[in-house]
Structure 1
Amino acid sequence: MKKICYFLLLTIIATVFSCKKEDGVTTGIQPVNLAVNLTYALDSSEYTLPVKGVSVKLTNTATSSILSSTSNDSGIARFAGIPAGTYDVDATITISADNYYTITGTYVAEDVTFNASEKNRAIAVGNDVSIAMTLVAGSTGEWVIKQVYFAGSNRTDGALFRDQFFEVYNNSDQVLYADSLYIGQVFGRQSFTSSNYYTQTNGQMDWTQSLNMPTGIDANNDFVYTRTLLMIPGTGTTYPVQPGKSIVIAQTAMNHKVPWTGANGTTISVKNPDLTVDLSAANFETYYAGFLSTPLASDVDNVSVPNVEVIQYFGNDWIMDNNGRDGYVIFKVDSSQAVKNWPMYNFPSTSTPSSTATKYYQVPLKYVIDAVEIQPINAEDRIPKKFGAMYDAGFASVPKGAYSSQSVIRKTLKTINGRIVLKDTNNSTEDFDYFEVATPGGFK
């Protein structure tokens, strides 16, 4: 009997240890030593920029936990004993204007920020893993995209998508003119379910495969492609914007908190005014009715608010993707450019597109003043990035997603003599916060 009991005890112990060992295998949480190797994308070898002191942040896409490190003299940021998994990796360093001049001999008015980013990077089980990342400097402009209210408000108690708006800010210390400022809604892959187009290795559309796309250009990296293109009207000095002030472009410039009459004579109202916004004092609005045989009843022309010029439109009104899968650019061009005559291309379909298939303007990134990428908050819902690190190394999101009344809002960096300067490092993950309820003209 004792021998039998002893044998059973050994069997139980062996089973427990076997299960623990098996648990360790299936969870995949064995620690990983990660080294992030940082270099610069430089056109010149006449100088060396500092690789020490680069801030590197790892965000676990499953748990949202964040780990931080700083690079050493060799440009290596180390993370010891991290769990295997999928991470967003963001690296950034800001070099002061004076230090940048000392190093390069080039005068710049503002500090220069360099970014590198990899999203949804799988870090597998292993003793030592290394990632190479290249830091690039984004161009910062006097205009910045300040707020994007794409989510809309509650479907039944709010205004759905009718209250969406877009806000652009004068981040300089000079009067700027909004005349001929272009706003583009950038098109790209919206989901992983469709397989009827060519893709790049990063999963985004491969525009080099578009019908009649010329060779000899970098169609994927030097351009973006818009499905909506709007322009602020004016003669050049019609719409001055003071330093530290913004302009709001509304989908429909109405007070969405109170009932109003739609284009078909019906009353449009909301059950909970607190969920939506008053856009009756917007600076500009979009108006599509003139292009459509059956416009939306909510597309009302507020005659007291100027209309933007619609160069290109998609859908029945300027409806931004409520789920947050669009990118946005603002740009200006000189007199040598006729934007309306820029080439347009079909998306890179694996089959020959019809003669009536939608085409998208090809916008040269060299003219872009600011770019903001929007992504869903949940990692599993994200789509491949549309912008490289030079234009937006990260992305902005709202925590509650579609129809939440939330907007993304650029953070305040500092205040100079009462003028608010907004943060602009070309990394929307770092530059943007959110409003619980969108607030035209507000600050965070």
Structure 2
Amino acid sequence: MKKTCYFLLLLTIATVCSCKKEDAVSTGIQPVNLIVHLTYALDSSDYSLPVKGVTVKITNTSTSSQLTASSNDSGIARFTAIPAGTYDVDATITISADNYYTITGTYIADDITFNASEKNAAIAVGNDLTMNMTLVAGTTGQWVIRQVYFAGSHRTDGALYRDQFIEIHNNSDQVLYADSLYIGQVYGRQSFTSSNYYTLTNGQMDWSKSVNMPADIDANNDYVYTRTLLMIPGTGKTYPVQPGSSIVIAQTAMNHKVPWTGANGTTISVKNPALTVDLSGADFEAYYASFLSTPLASDVDNLSVPNLEVLQYFGNDWILDNNGRDGYIIFKVDGAQIVKNWPMYNFPTTSTPSATAVKYYQVPLKYVIDAVEIQPNTAEDRIPKKFSAQYDAGFALVPKGAYSSQSVVRKTQKTVNGRVVLKDTNNSTEDFDYFDVATPGGFK
């Protein structure tokens, strides 16, 4: 009897283990391999840039887990036995100015960074993936976007969106003048769910299909499209900015921590001043009320702060997308360009737009000094990128999302004789950190 019971026990254990083993085979996640092959986009074939030592980082968009590898002599980086899933793949290498001169014979003042990026790359179970990526040199300028406070603060305890601002930094070693510096809010497809647009393979709008778009231009790669376009006034040398210093551009240049009187005479206040910021000392503000029939009560003109020139706007105030679905650019043009006369186009909708449909300025990327891509804080809300790797290979975000009081802020690269130089590799994923509470003038 004991032998029979013992046999039945062994049979039961074997059956359970067999089932578990079969379940593991049928439902287990099999690891996959990713091979990244790196090359350069070069204007000349007279020289070769190093493909060894390129840092490749992959980020699982679902778990946020990251792995890093370095490319070999052949420009190949390997990731073996990684979980199947969707990944962001970023590659970067910085070549010193001296080394770049030795290789190319071209003098550059600073080290140069090359980037490549592939977002939302899906690697399915049982399917290894070989990815070809082309490294491009980013555009770097003397001005950089230092901080973007788009999230706003708590809806009931904070200032909602009234306290938003952008900060722009003089990253050079000489005095720069902010006069005629343009600030653009770049727009595009806001989600993957809308299907009434002509789209590119990455899901972003195909602007070449816009009504009356010229056929002899590269509408998607040589331009971006803005829904807000502002300009700092001045005669050329009205607003000097010292090396390592910044200017703050406020939606409304008020101290949002304390009560103040709105345009309609009502008191505007917050329940928790710690959630918001004092923008009464901002350098510029966006004031819309003078040309709107129904301006917001919160759009008050601080007479001690110069107003921006408004070339293009939407809504009742300069409101940045709290969810993080806009991109931002700064640019300057030569004297031959009249920006307000630049062409504007409708969205590339599959149906013909109405005569009153909104149009968007077409901004040539050749004039852009700096670009920052912003994305929502959760992977499922991610939208198609608006900028190529040449202008921003990555993106910045705030971990807590909309109405969190958080801002994205560019990291400090070094300090030279007291002058702060900010990191600028044209990859906002690497270049930016965040403040838990937006801090005008703050550094990371």
TM-score bracket for the superposition, by shorter chain length: over 0.9
Could you tell me whether the CA contact under 8 Å between 1:182 and 1:332 is conserved in 2?
yes
Secondary structure of 1:98's partner?
helix
- Opposite residue 70 of structure 2, the aligned amino acid is T
Which residue in 2 is equivalent to 1:16?
17
Take 2:46 and 2:316, find their aligned partners in 1: how far apart are those partners? 54
Take 2:128 and 2:18, find their aligned partners in 1: how far apart are those partners? 27
Deviation, 1:217, is 1.0
- Opposite residue 17 of structure 1, the aligned amino acid is S
Secondary structure of 1:99's partner?
helix
Deviation, 1:80, is 1.8
Deviation, 1:5, is 7.8
TM-score (structure 2 length as normaliser)? 0.97
Aligned pairs for 1:293-372 (under 5 A) are 293-372=293-372
Deviation, 1:23, is 3.5
Deviation, 1:63, is 1.3
User: Identity rate of aligned residues, in percent?
Assistant: 81
Could you tell me whether the CA contact under 8 Å between 1:177 and 1:240 is conserved in 2?
yes
Take 1:123 and 1:56, find their aligned partners in 2: how far apart are those partners? 16
- Opposite residue 27 of structure 2, the aligned amino acid is T
Which residue in 2 is equivalent to 1:33?
33
Task: Tell me whether 235-244 or 8-17 shows the greater mean CA deviation.
Answer: 8-17
Which residue in 2 is equivalent to 1:390?
390
Take 2:374 and 2:110, find their aligned partners in 1: how far apart are those partners? 26
What RMSD, in angstroms, separates the aligned Cα atoms of the two structures?
A: 1.4
- Opposite residue 340 of structure 1, the aligned amino acid is K
Secondary structure of 2:280's partner?
coil
Which residue in 2 is equivalent to 1:215?
215
Deviation, 1:291, is 2.2
Mapped pair 1:203 → 2:203 = yes
Secondary structure of 2:290's partner?
helix
Task: Tell me whether 186-195 or 239-248 shows the greater mean CA deviation.
Answer: 186-195
Which residue in 2 is equivalent to 1:52?
52
Q: 1:246 to 1:46 in 2, by over 3 A?
A: same
Deviation, 1:11, is 6.2
Aligned pairs for 1:29-108 (under 5 A) are 29-108=29-108
Could you tell me whether the CA contact under 8 Å between 1:253 and 1:279 is conserved in 2?
yes
Take 1:127 and 1:323, find their aligned partners in 2: how far apart are those partners? 34
Deviation, 1:123, is 1.5
Structure 2: segments with no counterpart, 5+ residues: none
Secondary structure of 1:290's partner?
helix
Deviation, 1:204, is 0.5
Which residue in 1 is equivalent to 2:146?
146
Secondary structure of 2:298's partner?
coil
- Opposite residue 26 of structure 1, the aligned amino acid is T
Deviation, 1:73, is 0.4
Secondary structure of 1:184's partner?
strand
Task: Tell me whether 33-42 or 262-271 shows the greater mean CA deviation.
Answer: 33-42
The CA deviation string for residues 72-99 of structure 1, in whole angstroms up to 9 with x for no partner, is 1000111121111111111000000011
Deviation, 1:127, is 6.8
Could you tell me whether the CA contact under 8 Å between 1:252 and 1:285 is conserved in 2?
yes
Deviation, 1:10, is 3.8
- Opposite residue 304 of structure 2, the aligned amino acid is S
Could you tell me whether the CA contact under 8 Å between 1:211 and 1:345 is conserved in 2?
yes
The CA deviation string for residues 82-124 of structure 1, in whole angstroms up to 9 with x for no partner, is 1111111110000000111111111111101000011111112
Deviation, 1:13, is 2.6
Could you tell me whether the CA contact under 8 Å between 1:207 and 1:220 is conserved in 2?
yes
Take 1:137 and 1:21, find their aligned partners in 2: how far apart are those partners? 51
- Opposite residue 328 of structure 1, the aligned amino acid is Y
Which residue in 2 is equivalent to 1:112?
112
Take 1:340 and 1:23, find their aligned partners in 2: how far apart are those partners? 63
The CA deviation string for residues 365-386 of structure 1, in whole angstroms up to 9 with x for no partner, is 0110000000012111100100
- Opposite residue 324 of structure 1, the aligned amino acid is G
Take 2:358 and 2:130, find their aligned partners in 1: how far apart are those partners? 43
Secondary structure of 2:130's partner?
strand
Could you tell me whether the CA contact under 8 Å between 1:144 and 1:369 is conserved in 2?
yes
Mapped pair 1:155 → 2:147 = no
Which residue in 1 is equivalent to 2:419?
419
Structure 1: segments with no counterpart, 5+ residues: none
TM-score (structure 1 length as normaliser)? 0.97
Which residue in 1 is equivalent to 2:121?
121
Secondary structure of 1:340's partner?
helix
The CA deviation string for residues 162-215 of structure 1, in whole angstroms up to 9 with x for no partner, is 000000000000000000000000000111221121111100011111111110
Q: 1:25 to 1:368 in 2, by over 3 A?
A: farther
Which residue in 2 is equivalent to 1:428?
428
Deviation, 1:65, is 1.1
Secondary structure of 2:14's partner?
helix
Could you tell me whether the CA contact under 8 Å between 1:31 and 1:127 is conserved in 2?
no
- Opposite residue 146 of structure 1, the aligned amino acid is R
The CA deviation string for residues 57-78 of structure 1, in whole angstroms up to 9 with x for no partner, is 1111111111111001000111
Could you tell me whether the CA contact under 8 Å between 1:407 and 1:436 is conserved in 2?
yes
- Opposite residue 335 of structure 1, the aligned amino acid is G
| Aligned structure 1 segments of 4 or more residues deviating by more than 6 angstroms | 1-5
Deviation, 1:272, is 0.4
Deviation, 1:128, is 4.0
Secondary structure of 2:136's partner?
strand
Deviation, 1:125, is 2.3
Take 1:396 and 1:24, find their aligned partners in 2: how far apart are those partners? 39
Take 1:293 and 1:372, find their aligned partners in 2: how far apart are those partners? 32
Deviation, 1:253, is 0.2
